Structure 1
Amino acid sequence: MAGGPAATGGGIGADAPKNKFAGILMTCFAAFGGILFGYDTGVISGVKEMTPWLCTFGETTTDLDRHPSGCFIGSSTESLVVSILSAGTFFGALLGSPVGDYLGRKWGIVLACLVFCVGVVMQTAATAIPLFVVGRVFAGLGVGLVSCLIPMYQSECAPKWIRGAVVALYQWAITIGIFLASIVNNATKDMEGHTSWRIPTALQFAWAGILALGMLALPESPRWLIKRGRDADAARALGRLTGLPATDPVVELEIADIKTNMRAEAEMSGSTYADCFKASKNRMGLRTWTGVLLQGWQQLTGINFIFYYGTTFFRNSGIGNPFTVSIATNVVNVVMTLPGIYLIERVGRRKLLLYGAAGMCICEFLVAIVGVTISTDNLVGQRVLIAFVCIYIAHFAATWGPIAWVVCGEIFPLNIRAKSMSLSVASNWLWNFAIGYATPYLVNKEPGSAGLEVKVFFIWGSTCLGCFLFTYFFVPETKGLSLEQIDMMYTLTPPRQAGPVRKRLMAEDIHASDSQGMDKTDIHHEDNKV
């Protein structure tokens, strides 16, 4: 990979001092925000199956064969409770742009934690569905802000040679959050009274508090400070992240390069929401649509069907202990994210996305086929079904889980990064909401529902085929490039032809200030030398 003390954009290269790792640890800590995201996503899967919660917020029934607890919630209420979080996160993600641009990336994350805590208070104190639902909305606003601002903060602060792995840690934290939720749910599910569901709900205060206090000690994004005209503060922040004095020539060169690229971006496109979709020289419209659709496709892999409705799905499929199986699937999700973090800077973003989409497609079709050809009493068949679900989760965890966030954190220019990132993350949550709301109607065998049950995996398998085709045509390889170099690459070539451009940018360590007068002809003419 390209290195050297003057590596631009993504941070200082291989010749930086050894204490540069202090800056890496800072940006890694920001990934803790994924715990909020993952825990809040995963906790509802178990909480809504607990008898005290069902009897508090649901209805009573005499049909003990279908509802052994004597209480239940209908498809409409279940859809509302699960999916309303995603409605809140959709608007929280859209707010990520003005909050991130006005308050900054750091203080925007702190504000998100406070909003999230308001939602947790409402959910913990609720004794009726309306207050619980409103609490889910406020928690969603906080999670939406976090999910937009943290990958953006990490991408702007991490060194380019490890940027992908650092941002991928955010997805790993999400998986840890989901896993922690399943552990806590399993530990409290048999408790008497409201404590069974209030303990896992209230525990979210701890995650928000750790993130907020930690962010207070971290520097602001140097790129945001430069965008606000605070060059001296940017130099100090960059100095903290690199372990160099603010007056060091390497830091000064980095600051100058970011400013040069920012001026070039301003000349090619504006900074409004309309500019995000314009067919400009630097392909801003294509880049925004790539981020928006990439996040949408990530949700259409069907992964949140397992984490929102996994406990219910396994129970209906004849699995004896669905809570235990849900813990097992979450272990797979956590563990298999680690190979993705390792491989993202070695194999690359594009190849892993293609491999992951193909693997998920095959596994989901196999789950659907096994599910429709065996009975719920077939123990061997149930084990095969669980095995393929776990293999499917492993493919997602190592590829589409972390890499969608990495790519969206990298491909947008600074002048509209917050806006394009917020639109992309909002797309994630819009599809999350749609899938969360529609799934009970697709899966449940109740009047007014489609009753697909395991056959829903035929749908997810088909959408994973769409993931493969989308990646092949629209996602370029960005491994080893600084954020400014990625901007140059988009200016010089469309995504499918980006390979030679990327090779030259890396081989010659071309900077924004070096690229004046360079065009596509120059790149391809020199390709044979690379």
Structure 2
Amino acid sequence: MVHYDDKPGHAEELENKPGAVFSEKAAVSDFRAEAIEAENVEHNMTVIEAMKAYPMASFWAFVMSCTIIMESYDVFLMGNFVALPAFVKKFGVDAVVDGKAVRVIATQWQSALQVSGQLGALIGVFVAGPLTSRIGYRYATLTGLMLLNAFIFVFYFANSLPVMFAAQILEGIPWGIFIANAPAYCSEIVPLRLRAPATQMLQMFWAIGSIIVGAVTYRYNKQDGAEAYRIPIALQWLFPTPLAILIFFAPESPWWLVRKGRHEEAARSVERLGKKSQVNSADAVSMMRRVVEMEASAKKPSHLELFKGTDLRRTLIVCGVYAAQNLTGNLIANQAVYFFTQAGIKSDTAFALGLITSALQMIFVMLSWILTTYYGRRSIYLWGSAVNTVLLVALASLGLIVSVLFTLGPAPASWVIIGETSAIRLRPLTTGMGRATYYIVEIPCIFLASYMLNPTGGNLGGKCGYVWGGTGLACLVTAYFFLPEMKGRSYREIDIMFKRKIPARQWKKTEIDVNDDE
């Protein structure tokens, strides 16, 4: 077992002792050689070698990614409920469309139900940052899982749209914790070569959540009674408890432990994530200490710090990438079944097509692992966004093709970028702020998307592709000028490149010496 002289909580004490920060930075040389060796080892690993050396890191990233299923499940569930005959019969209103009497969920409630979870998640992401910084990724996630178990009861027994609206807000709070923590945790527990596939699993589980919803609602869409929507709601209880048991036994992020000055625990965590015969935990912890000391500050991490100095640029990148997910037509996917029904397709066929769309998304996410790992984040993001924008404008009514292709490039690449961009000491706060931006942009976009598709609203159908094509083009241009390529970069190198203010388009050809500390 590796032993360190540092007392527990040493890193936290530094934040309250300005003079200690500089003396501690001087002490970096005490473990500099080990840190350089560990970083070189990660750089020289292939993807296969990294998987063999860190098999349990991949497993625990898989487990943490499963928490995303719950938000995805409920987001798509509400999107499908507005097209579910039994739900519409119970909670809908009579309307006349093209001279025909129909029953639909009122436009305002259709939007409200789909935005309610996001309102709760917006609260959750702001809770997640301080909570995780204080008690760690494991216990923050466990807290969210237990809360979700309780809040599902409110949703299940809801007998009116206002109560469902409130229930969704409550459920959204733990979703915010999951979505803020998962990309950060996954990026921290795996070696450099596995950061892309580990974080991209989040998009795959988002697709899995939609597949489960598609299968369940397809099975019950012909039912007339309340069980058609009660049973899909009840199935949410399948996830929190088993996941809570697994995450209770998961190792804490060694980067978080190093931030807290708990170096021996960090070494044990590294040993649990990798094979002892192939991983030098002492060197790995030294590498983490080197980065943590580079970022050491006399202040405790705060949301205000996200918008100062070089951290402002990092925050804007994370927020921009998150916001772009809602501005490139991906919301069409969340309303896929409703989109099909508005196109005149029978409900059972519409649910089947929605299920097929979700399955294709999962396959494309897996293909993106290869593309992003070998061709980089910026390249895949930009080319994927460009194709998306062209298809939105050119095809319009075939906009669902975009929702599938989106999962080949921009969507999975986004998770990698989000996990890599933020500074280690501010990571829980940055990912929370980024996801908050996602919800702030998504909420008005949901109202807009519902209005454009609803026959009692804009009734634009496939023409809504033109709207998303315009916003998608704006996101593409912004990404071209401001999104750097972080493929193959250690967290030390990323820190240095941000501090040197290197322009985004020059990152790929910039070399950072292994001895540099800034």
TM-score normalised per structure 1: 0.85
Give, as a single letter, the amino acid of the residue that structure 1 aligns with 2:281. V
Rounded Cα–Cα distance in structure 2 between residues aligned with 1:86 and 1:167: 21
Deviations 1:80-108, CA, capped at 9 Å, x for gaps: 11111111111111211012112211111
Deviation of 1:114 after TM superposition, in Å, equals 1.8
**Cα distance change on mapping 1:61 and 1:491 into 2, 3 Å:** closer
Structure-2 residue corresponding to 1:104:
136
Give, as a single letter, the amino acid of the residue that structure 1 aligns with 2:83. E
SS at match of 1:345: helix
Structure-2 residue corresponding to 1:258:
288
RMSD of the TM alignment (CA)? 2.6
Q: 1:340 aligns with which of 343, 353, 368?
A: 368
TM alignment of 1:164-175, pairs within 5 A: 164-175=196-207
**Cα distance change on mapping 1:225 and 1:451 into 2, 3 Å:** same
Deviation of 1:270 after TM superposition, in Å, equals 6.5
Rounded Cα–Cα distance in structure 2 between residues aligned with 1:145 and 1:362: 35
Whether the 8 Å CA contact 1:120–1:135 is kept in 2: the answer is: yes
Query: Structure 2: which 5+ runs fail to align?
Result: 1-34
Deviations 1:135-157, CA, capped at 9 Å, x for gaps: 11111111111010011100111
Give, as a single letter, the amino acid of the residue that structure 2 aligns with 1:130. P
Whether the 8 Å CA contact 1:23–1:243 is kept in 2: the answer is: no
Select between 268-277 and 174-183 the one with higher mean Cα deviation.
268-277
Structure-1 residue corresponding to 2:112:
80
SS at match of 2:39: coil
Whether the 8 Å CA contact 2:50–2:193 is kept in 1: the answer is: no
Whether the 8 Å CA contact 2:306–2:315 is kept in 1: the answer is: yes
Select between 209-218 and 351-360 the one with higher mean Cα deviation.
209-218
TM alignment of 1:340-379, pairs within 5 A: 340-368=368-396, 371=397
Structure-1 residue corresponding to 2:483:
475
**Cα distance change on mapping 1:210 and 1:249 into 2, 3 Å:** closer
**Cα distance change on mapping 1:19 and 1:432 into 2, 3 Å:** same
Give, as a single letter, the amino acid of the residue that structure 2 aligns with 1:389. L
**Cα distance change on mapping 1:227 and 1:12 into 2, 3 Å:** farther
Asked if residue 30 in structure 1 is aligned to residue 64 in structure 2, the reply is yes
Rounded Cα–Cα distance in structure 2 between residues aligned with 1:124 and 1:339: 37
Query: Structure 1: which 5+ runs fail to align?
Result: 372-384, 518-530
Structure-1 residue corresponding to 2:327:
300
Structure-2 residue corresponding to 1:48:
82
Whether the 8 Å CA contact 2:484–2:505 is kept in 1: the answer is: yes
Structure-1 residue corresponding to 2:54:
20
Structure-1 residue corresponding to 2:469:
461
Structure-1 residue corresponding to 2:6:
none
Deviations 1:47-104, CA, capped at 9 Å, x for gaps: 2222332233333568897565xx4321111111111111111111121101211221
Q: 2:450 aligns with which of 427, 432, 440?
A: 440
Q: 1:146 aligns with which of 178, 191, 194?
A: 178
Structure-2 residue corresponding to 1:203:
235
Rounded Cα–Cα distance in structure 1 between residues aligned with 2:203 and 2:318: 16
Rounded Cα–Cα distance in structure 2 between residues aligned with 1:195 and 1:53: 10
TM alignment of 1:382-421, pairs within 5 A: 385=398, 389-390=400-401, 392-421=402-431
Deviation of 1:8 after TM superposition, in Å, equals 7.2
**Cα distance change on mapping 1:323 and 1:260 into 2, 3 Å:** same
Asked if residue 317 in structure 1 is aligned to residue 343 in structure 2, the reply is yes
Structure-1 residue corresponding to 2:92:
58
Rounded Cα–Cα distance in structure 2 between residues aligned with 1:17 and 1:33: 22
**Cα distance change on mapping 1:11 and 1:35 into 2, 3 Å:** farther
Rounded Cα–Cα distance in structure 1 between residues aligned with 2:82 and 2:146: 25
Rounded Cα–Cα distance in structure 2 between residues aligned with 1:442 and 1:244: 56
Structure-1 residue corresponding to 2:121:
89
Deviation of 1:356 after TM superposition, in Å, equals 0.7
Number of aligned residue pairs: give it: 479
Whether the 8 Å CA contact 2:50–2:191 is kept in 1: the answer is: no
**Cα distance change on mapping 1:202 and 1:9 into 2, 3 Å:** farther
Structure-2 residue corresponding to 1:223:
255
| Percent of pairs with identical residues | 22
Deviations 1:277-314, CA, capped at 9 Å, x for gaps: 112xxx2111101111111011111212231x222222
Structure-2 residue corresponding to 1:377:
none
Deviations 1:160-218, CA, capped at 9 Å, x for gaps: 11111110011111111111111111001112311111111111111222322221121
Whether the 8 Å CA contact 1:301–1:464 is kept in 2: the answer is: yes
Deviation of 1:123 after TM superposition, in Å, equals 1.1
Whether the 8 Å CA contact 2:377–2:413 is kept in 1: the answer is: yes
Deviation of 1:118 after TM superposition, in Å, equals 2.5
Give, as a single letter, the amino acid of the residue that structure 2 aligns with 1:444. N
SS at match of 1:266: coil
Give, as a single letter, the amino acid of the residue that structure 2 aligns with 1:55. K
